[in-house]
Amino acid sequence: MEAKSAKIRLYVDHPLGQGQSIDLAREQAHYLFGVMRLAEGAAVALFNGRDGEWLAKVAEAGKRGGRLECIAQTRPLQMPPDLWLLFAPIKKARTDFIVEKAAEMGAARILPVQTDFTNSERIRQDRLQAHAVEAAEQCGGTYVPEVAELQKLSRMLDHWPADRRLMFCDEALADGAPARSGLPDDPAASERGTSEPWAILIGPEGGFSEAERARLHALPQAQAVSLGPRILRADTAAVAALTLWQSSRGDWR
Amino acid sequence: MEAKSAKIRLYVDHPLGQGQSIDLAREQAHYLFGVMRLAEGAAVALFNGRDGEWLAKVAEAGKRGGRLECIAQTRPLQMPPDLWLLFAPIKKARTDFIVEKAAEMGAARILPVQTDFTNSERIRQDRLQAHAVEAAEQCGGTYVPEVAELQKLSRMLDHWPADRRLMFCDEALADGAPARSGLPDDPAASERGTSEPWAILIGPEGGFSEAERARLHALPQAQAVSLGPRILRADTAAVAALTLWQSSRGDWR
């Protein structure tokens, strides 16, 4: 649901500020001047994940490069809540999709994890990071979540931060605890102005192993949540869990 | 998140019941015996959207056909709540995705609508219906939502049922009403045992036109809901809106 007359929004890895000048890489110049046909003087919205959104204009347009100039800040940096999304990588297209959705939905960090039933031994971290950037460009966000390298879930749980709560979606609860009762509203969180650190863990196809399930249920920071009576694919479960969290404790309130 | 040792679940357009015998079409026989290598006597789970789930066994296996025999009902029919999903078709892959997700999330009917800013003039209803069937096979559902033909939103609103409430996602509310306050829990609904008829409407890329927005806000059955401070793609918005509805009024409670 982008705006119909969407101006171009571009992520740049460059400081943004009053009078700041940004030299464009060849690919960016090709996109802006070759594909999008922008001329000198045209407006572009820029963000870098740190300095908010800036209105910039094309100062020089070339085939192999170009230069933009910052004019004014149009939006301050809006940080998402302190929410991590942990997920077990699945088929390529659906993994891309989970990263895209996590960025749109406002996760602060995206952590691919290897579980007992995860098929994937490796991920292309750079490609997934590029998907997160593209999703931030599309959704109007001023922040880009970092995509971490693949880590073993067991190792992460060994060193799980004492103050970070963990919501995990347990299929075995499908006919049990309802979705919201596991995650009550926390009005105090918005009064405090900062949200508690949380993480959401989405299991792989095949679910968690018995050992993982026992370990998760024993973790004091962990909270099991059910996502209804049907079995959701991992990508659907990721969006559903992010929705439940954002609407009860995050920035959708 | 399918079960690892998933037995095969197959949708058949055939009555299911004790002693019922099902002749297989060529494609089904190819899938079961050619691709999945089932032999005579092997077990298959069947559903038809009406008679629940049945355990069947392979009675005859051939290259061009075969026959299954119902043994016992393993699950009763579980109807989803009386919830329609209306959405404006977008790019092919994302339209397929919305239909898949709506079936997984438990929508009862899926209605593609043409809005003022919808690019798509036509849909492949048969292909979308096949996606809904496949999603039901995957998610363990015993019901398959019907995918309707493309209709004009304006015409649907002309004849909108008096008793069906309509939740629509209005981007203009992005900084306004929080997601849950627009859709409070309805404990009475579960006491009544039946859910009120509802519909969710997801707008196209480009949002609703001013005329559509005015008309929706004037409809007494309509309820605007915000989906957070970032702009969600239509496919993300569909899963998020279904999650909010299912967790507050549907069968996730």
- The sign of the torsion formed by the CA atoms of A135, A140, A142, A143 equals negative
- Other C-beta atoms within 10 Å of A197: how many? 16
Confidence of residue B173 (pLDDT cuts 50, 70, 90): low
Q: Where are the domains of chain B?
A: 9-75, 83-248
Q: What is the reported pLDDT for B175?
A: 46
Chain A hits for B226, CB-CB cut-off 8 Å, are 252
Residues 21-80 of chain A with CB under 8 A from chain B are 78
Q: What is the ipTM of this complex?
A: 0.88
Chain segment B11-33, per-residue pLDDT in tens? 999 999 999 999 999 999 999 99
Q: Which residue of A has its CA nearest to B243?
A: A240
Q: Return the ∠ at Cα A32 (arms to A28 and A36), rounded to 5°.
A: 140
Q: Which B residues, 157 through 196, put their C-beta within 8 Å of a C-beta on chain A?
A: 169, 171, 178-180, 185
Residue B103 to residue B133: CA distance in whole angstroms: 8
C-alpha to C-alpha distance for B8 and A139, rounded to whole angstroms? 39
Residue A1, pLDDT score: 34
Dump pLDDT digits (tens) for B206-247: 889 999 999 999 999 999 998 988 989 999 999 999 999 999
Type of residue numbered A129:
Q
Of A54-63, A234-243, B114-123, B140-149, which gets the smallest average pLDDT? B114-123
Q: Is the pLDDT of residue B120 over 90?
A: no
The number of CA neighbours under 13 Å toward the Cβ of A4 is 11
Q: Does A2 sit within 8 Å of B231, measured CB to CB?
A: yes
**B9-75 is classed CATH 3.55.10.10:** no
What the block records as the tokens of B85 is 């999903």
pLDDT for res B3: 30
Residue bearing tokens 């464009």: A24
- Is the pLDDT confidence value at A107 over 60? yes
Q: Burial level of A149, CB count in 10 A (0-12/13-18/19+)?
A: exposed
Strands B146-147 and B66-75: unpaired
Residues of A in contact with B207 (CB under 8 A): 1, 3-4
* Residue at A43: amino acid letter: A
A177 by DSSP, 3-state: which? coil
Q: How far apart are CA A139 and CA A50, in angstroms?
A: 16
User: How far A29 CA lies from chain B's nearest CA (Å)?
Assistant: 26
How far is CA B106 from each of CA B96, B243, B250, rounded to the nearest angstrom?
A: 16, 10, 9
The class (CATH top level) of B83-248 is: alpha beta
Side-chain half-sphere exposure of A123, counting CA atoms within 13 A: 29
Contact A138 B233 (CB under 8 A): yes
Q: Does B92 touch chain A (CB under 8 A)?
A: no
Do B9-75 and B83-248 have matching folds? Answer: no
Average confidence score pLDDT of chain A: 88
- What pLDDT shows up at residue B63? 85
Among A194, A87, A90, which Cα is nearest to A145's?
Answer: A87
User: Taking a contact as any Cβ pair under 8 Å apart, which residues of chain B between 118 and 147 contact chain A?
Assistant: 138-141
What CA–CA distance (Å, rounded) separates B213 from B224?
10
